[in-house]
């Protein structure tokens, strides 16, 4: 074997693409990240005059920040858990059973996302007002639950449909009840894809602001809602920046997980790939 | 000691209104291996899946040892099914695949271990327990699938073309292994195949199916030697089926004639290639040699009657024949069919 070196022409399109992406995505992140660890940064200096954790101390000393972090985590966990509880069996039914109205019901989940979301939210808020759900934890749970339906139905349906029916039948054959087959065979088989759906709905719920604000404010305050109010009401940029960095944490962890799932290849299989 | 009885079972699929199985009856004796043999779409899988509980019969009933199982769900039936696509659970290793059913039956862990190891030994996979399904060859996967059913000691073993995805060589070996195991355990077995070799070499009895109905149920040698219908005659082995006419005890077709002691009318004459002698004839020839194939141990002569009807004959000295030659035909054993049933055999 002789090794051949192929000189590739400089890929200018690729380079321009990379540069633009860097400017658009990375630069704002760097700016926000820098602000979060800045004590003094006065115009027109290009780099801050003084780095430090002063605003971290100040931000984390605030009770409303801690209560909103707890609130956000509790909300996202509750919503994701309930959503899984409701949606996974429903998705299984959509994937495996044929019942009257199946298709209409299936597409209705999509329809919920076809309207401008805010309009829908306001309409729901009207109903919640009558039900005394405005400003309550469960009101926000309910509204965010609606937001997860799309991920938690459509993706798992694809995942369940790609599970070999013969595997399920073989499990029935050795004595497993339909419920047992679902837990021991179907769910693990569809596992990676469903994990991705659960992750998406957790992250989506964690960052959801419109519903949380419209239904929850002012009693229920999630971290993103708090951040918005900080940015709107406080002249200090660092508060918003620190909260932004805090908010990165869950999505960063989610990304790490998602990478593993997607790399495993079973994610593509979930879509019949 | 298990007997499977299928009585007048029909299955009509609502979509498309297909009568997949049509008033089918069969009794499989204790320890017997019965092959369901038939062309694609003849209802073999549907019938097997009804016995396993995966399809509901439209009508009829099934019993195992006298107990009605017609409406019993699959998990409560004493049947074990082996699927064509092994259907092993890929998220479990071999041991867990085999142990799953035992765990559901609340068998003690050390007993589970003992039984799984014994059955792995039986299928020739001792020590493979920790392997993952994907780390096995096709043949090994199918053995594990068989073991998964056997470990539960089902009363009735059901196999749906378990070797269809394997290569010829492996298929023949597994066929023998399965037959061996089945006879050792004396397990009542229903085996679906559309390979006649498989049926002929494994079965105690063969059920030839067509359009959801039984064409013939008999021992393999009987099915081969005495097919009851022209369909069976044409389906099992190679058979020359010559459609002609009988007048005054003589069957004739395009210049070929032979005595056939049946009443006048149309008839199908059936002759196996190995039961058809040929002689080179300079005059009065009944057919013309089209092609000669030498297989070393024997030869096969393709010939044409005067109207281009193709006939095959097996000969021991293929070098005696040449394309274009005229020949006369002398069948040693014949059968004749009319209206789908046998009317004469000699
Ligand atoms: N779920 C179903 N819905 C509708 N029709 C079906 C269904 N399953 C089978 N059929 C039809 O029933 C008939 C018998 O099918 P079956 O699978 O039992 O045949 P088979 O003998 O096993 O064929 P093969 O040798 O190809 O496996 C076919 O016409 C088939 O199209
Ligand atoms: Mg079949």
Interface test with A, best of B56, B69, B87 (most A CBs within 10 A): B87
Q: Give mean pLDDT, residues A193-197.
A: 85
Q: Give the lowest-confidence range in A162-176, A216-230, B293-307.
A: A216-230
Q: Give mean pLDDT, residues A258-263.
A: 66
- Checking if the pLDDT of B132 tops 80, the result is yes
**Residue A226: closest CA among A67, A31, A35:** A67
Q: Which class in CATH covers the domain with range B238-345? A: mainly beta
- pLDDT at residue number B231: 93
Subunit contact B74:A167, Cβ cutoff 8 A: no
- pLDDT at residue number B314: 92
Q: Token pair of A52, please?
A: 């430090």
Pocket of ligand 1 (CB under 6 A): B 13, 15-16, 18, 20, 38, 40-46, 194
Residues B216 and B230: beta-carbon distance below 8 Å:
no
Upstream peptide bond of B148 is cis (omega within 30 degrees of 0): no
CA distance B138 to chain A (A): 16
- Checking if the pLDDT of A272 tops 50, the result is no
Interface test with B, best of A167, A171, A173 (most B CBs within 10 A): A173
- Report the nearest-CA residue for atom 4 of ligand 1: B13
**Which of B241 and A22 is assigned the larger pLDDT?**
B241
Nearest CB neighbour to B54, from listed A169, A175, A177:
A169
Nearest CB neighbour to A172, from listed B75, B91, B149:
B75
Cα angle for residues B129, B80, A89 (degrees, 5° grid): 85
**Which of A7 and A253 is assigned the larger pLDDT?**
A253
Q: Give mean pLDDT, residues A29-51.
A: 78
Q: For chain B, positions 297-336, list CB contacts with chain A under 8 A.
A: none
- Checking if the pLDDT of A264 tops 90, the result is no
Q: Give mean pLDDT, residues A147-153.
A: 82
Q: How far is it, in rounded angstroms, from Cα B260 to Cα B206?
A: 29
Q: Token pair of B253, please?
A: 């077709």
Find chain B residues with C-beta within 8 A of A172's C-beta. 53-54, 73-75
- Checking if the pLDDT of A128 tops 80, the result is yes
Q: Give mean pLDDT, residues A194-219.
A: 82
Ligand 1 pocket, mutate which of B12, B22, B42 (most atoms under 8 A from CB):
B42
**Residue B25: closest CA among B209, B229, B239, B283:** B209
Q: Give the lowest-confidence range in A59-73, B13-27, B128-142.
A: A59-73
Subunit contact A172:B74, Cβ cutoff 8 A: yes
Subunit contact A166:B73, Cβ cutoff 8 A: no
- Checking if the pLDDT of A265 tops 80, the result is no
Q: Give mean pLDDT, residues B259-267.
A: 91
- pLDDT at residue number A270: 46
**Residue B87: closest CA among A106, A146, A63, A173:** A173
- pLDDT at residue number B33: 94
Separation of B40 CA from ligand 2 center, angstroms? 7
Strand order across the B205-210 sheet: B79-82, B156-160, B188-193, B33-37, B205-210, B213-218
- Checking if the pLDDT of A3 tops 80, the result is no
Q: Token pair of A238, please?
A: 């660092």
Confidence of residue B5 (pLDDT cuts 50, 70, 90): very high
- Domains of chain A plus CATH, in order, are 12-51 (no CATH), 62-270 (1.10.3720.10)
**Which of B314 and A64 is assigned the larger pLDDT?**
B314
Nearest CB neighbour to A174, from listed B85, B90, B148:
B148
Upstream peptide bond of B55 is cis (omega within 30 degrees of 0): no
B194 CA: nearest ligand 1 atom? 25
Report percent pLDDT > 90 for chain B.
Answer: 62
Subunit contact A173:B91, Cβ cutoff 8 A: no
Residue of B nearest to A181 (CA): B75
Residues B319 and B302: beta-carbon distance below 8 Å:
no
Q: How far is it, in rounded angstroms, from Cα B36 to Cα B198?
A: 10
- Checking if the pLDDT of A271 tops 60, the result is no
Residue of A nearest to B153 (CA): A174
- Report the nearest-CA residue for atom 13 of ligand 1: B20
Residues A238 and A57: beta-carbon distance below 8 Å:
no
Q: How far is it, in rounded angstroms, from Cα A127 to Cα A218?
A: 18
Q: How far is it, in rounded angstroms, from Cα B198 to Cα B206?
A: 10
Q: How far is it, in rounded angstroms, from Cα A183 to Cα B108?
A: 22
CB atoms within 10 A of CB A157: 24
CA distance A179 to chain B (A): 12
- B139 touching chain A per CB within 8 A: no
Subunit contact A169:B152, Cβ cutoff 8 A: no
Residue B145: is it exposed, middle or buried by C-beta count within 10 angstroms (0-12/13-18/19+)? buried
CA distance A266 to chain B (A): 12
Residues B202 and B35: beta-carbon distance below 8 Å:
yes
- pLDDT at residue number A273: 37
Residue of B nearest to A178 (CA): B75
**Residue A84: closest CA among A165, A184, A196:** A196
- B52 touching chain A per CB within 8 A: yes
Q: Could you tell me where in chain B the CATH 3.40.50.300 domains are found?
A: 4-228
Residue B259: is it exposed, middle or buried by C-beta count within 10 angstroms (0-12/13-18/19+)? exposed
Report percent pLDDT > 90 for chain A.
Answer: 8
- pLDDT at residue number A47: 80
State whether CATH 3.20.20.540 applies to domain B4-228.
Answer: no
Write B307-316 long-range contacts (CB < 8 A, 24+): B307/B253, B307/B254, B307/B255, B309/B242, B309/B253, B309/B254, B311/B240, B311/B242, B311/B271, B311/B276, B311/B287, B312/B238, B312/B240, B312/B273, B312/B276, B313/B273, B313/B276, B313/B277, B313/B278, B314/B273, B314/B274, B314/B276, B315/B278
- B13 touching chain A per CB within 8 A: no
Interface test with A, best of B15, B49, B52, B54 (most A CBs within 10 A): B54
Q: What is the ipTM of this complex?
A: 0.84
- Checking if the pLDDT of A263 tops 70, the result is no
**Which of A215 and B176 is assigned the larger pLDDT?**
B176
The tens digit of pLDDT for each residue in A43-77 reads 777 788 777 777 778 777 788 778 888 888 888 89
- pLDDT at residue number B103: 93
Report percent pLDDT > 70 for chain B.
Answer: 100
b (16+ CB within 10 A) / e for A81-101: ebbbeebbebbbebbbeeeee
Q: Over chain A, what is the mean pLDDT?
A: 80
- Report the nearest-CA residue for atom 8 of ligand 1: B46
Q: For chain B, positions 80-99, list CB contacts with chain A under 8 A.
A: 80-81, 83, 85, 87-91
- pLDDT at residue number A262: 61
**Which of A269 and B87 is assigned the larger pLDDT?**
B87
- Report the nearest-CA residue for atom 16 of ligand 1: B43
Find chain A residues with C-beta within 8 A of B83's C-beta. 166, 169-170
CA distance A209 to chain B (A): 39
Residue of A nearest to B101 (CA): A174
**pTM, rounded to two decimals:** 0.78
Q: Could you tell me where in chain B the CATH 2.40.50.140 domains are found?
A: 238-345
Confidence of residue A6 (pLDDT cuts 50, 70, 90): low
CB atoms within 10 A of CB B193: 23
CA distance B255 to chain A (A): 55
- Report the nearest-CA residue for atom 2 of ligand 1: B13
Confidence of residue A145 (pLDDT cuts 50, 70, 90): confident
């Amino acid at each position: 074997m002789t090794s051949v070196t192929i000189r590739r022409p400089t890929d200018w399109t690729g380079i321009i693409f990379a540069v633009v992406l860097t400017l658009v995505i990375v630069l704002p992140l760097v700016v926000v990240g820098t602000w979060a660890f800045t004590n003094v940064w006065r115009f027109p200096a290009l780099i801050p005059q003084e780095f430090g954790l002063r605003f971290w101390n100040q931000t984390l000393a605030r009770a409303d920040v801690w209560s909103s972090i707890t609130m956000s985590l509790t909300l996202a966990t509750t919503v994701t858990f309930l959503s899984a509880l409701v949606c996974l069996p429903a998705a299984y039914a959509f994937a495996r059973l044929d019942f009257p109205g199946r298709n209409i019901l299936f597409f209705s989940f999509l329809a919920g996302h076809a309207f401008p979301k805010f309009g829908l939210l306001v309409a729901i808020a009207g109903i919640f007002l009558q039900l005394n759900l405005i400003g309550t934890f469960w009101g926000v749970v309910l509204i965010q639950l609606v937001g997860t339906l799309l991920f938690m139905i459509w993706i798992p349906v694809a995942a369940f449909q790609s599970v070999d029916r013969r595997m399920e039948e073989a499990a029935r054959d050795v004595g497993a009840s339909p419920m047992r087959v679902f837990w021991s065979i179907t769910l693990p088989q569809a596992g990676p894809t469903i994990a991705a759906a659960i992750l998406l709905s957790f992250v989506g719920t964690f960052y959801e602001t419109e519903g949380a604000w419209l239904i929850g404010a002012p009693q229920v305050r999630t971290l993103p809602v708090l951040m918005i109010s900080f940015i709107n009401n406080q002249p200090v940029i660092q508060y918003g920046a620190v909260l932004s960095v805090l908010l990165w944490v869950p999505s960063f962890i989610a990304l790490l997980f998602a990478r593993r799932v997607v790399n495993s290849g079973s994610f593509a299989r979930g879509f019949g790939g | 000691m298990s007997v499977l009885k299928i009585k007048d079972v029909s299955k009509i699929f609502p979509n498309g209104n297909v009568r997949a199985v049509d008033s089918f009856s069969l009794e499989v004796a204790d320890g017997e291996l019965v092959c369901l043999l038939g062309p694609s779409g003849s209802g073999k899988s549907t019938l097997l899946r009804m016995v396993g509980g995966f399809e509901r019969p439209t009508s009829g009933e099934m019993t195992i040892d006298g107990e009605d199982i017609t409406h019993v769900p699959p998990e409560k039936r004493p049947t074990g099914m082996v699927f064509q696509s092994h259907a092993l659970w890929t998220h479990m290793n071999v041991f867990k695949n085999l142990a799953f059913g035992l765990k559901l039956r609340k068998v003690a862990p050390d007993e589970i271990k003992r039984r799984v190891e014994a059955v792995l030994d039986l299928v020739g996979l001792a020590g493979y327990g920790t392997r993952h399904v994907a780390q096995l060859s096709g043949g090994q996967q199918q053995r594990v699938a068989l073991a998964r059913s056997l470990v539960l000691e089902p009363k009735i073993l059901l196999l749906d073309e378990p070797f269809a995805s394997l290569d010829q060589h492996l298929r023949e070996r597994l066929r023998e292994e399965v037959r061996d195991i089945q006879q050792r355990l004396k397990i009542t077995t229903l085996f679906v195949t559309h390979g006649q070799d498989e049926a002929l070499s494994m079965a105690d009895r063969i059920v030839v199916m067509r359009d959801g109905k039984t064409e013939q149920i008999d021992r393999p040698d009987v099915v081969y030697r005495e097919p009851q219908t022209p369909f069976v005659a044409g389906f099992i082995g190679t058979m020359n089926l010559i459609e002609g006419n009988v007048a005054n005890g003589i069957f004739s077709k395009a210049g070929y004639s032979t005595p056939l002691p049946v009443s006048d009318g149309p008839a199908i004459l059936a002759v196996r290639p190995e039961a058809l002698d040929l002689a080179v004839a300079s005059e009065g020839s009944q057919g013309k040699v089209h092609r000669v194939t030498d297989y070393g141990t024997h030869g096969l002569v393709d010939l044409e009657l005067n109207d281009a009807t193709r006939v095959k004959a097996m000969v021991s000295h293929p070098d005696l024949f040449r394309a274009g030659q005229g020949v006369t035909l002398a069948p040693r054993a014949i059968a004749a069919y009319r209206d789908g049933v046998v009317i004469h055999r000699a």
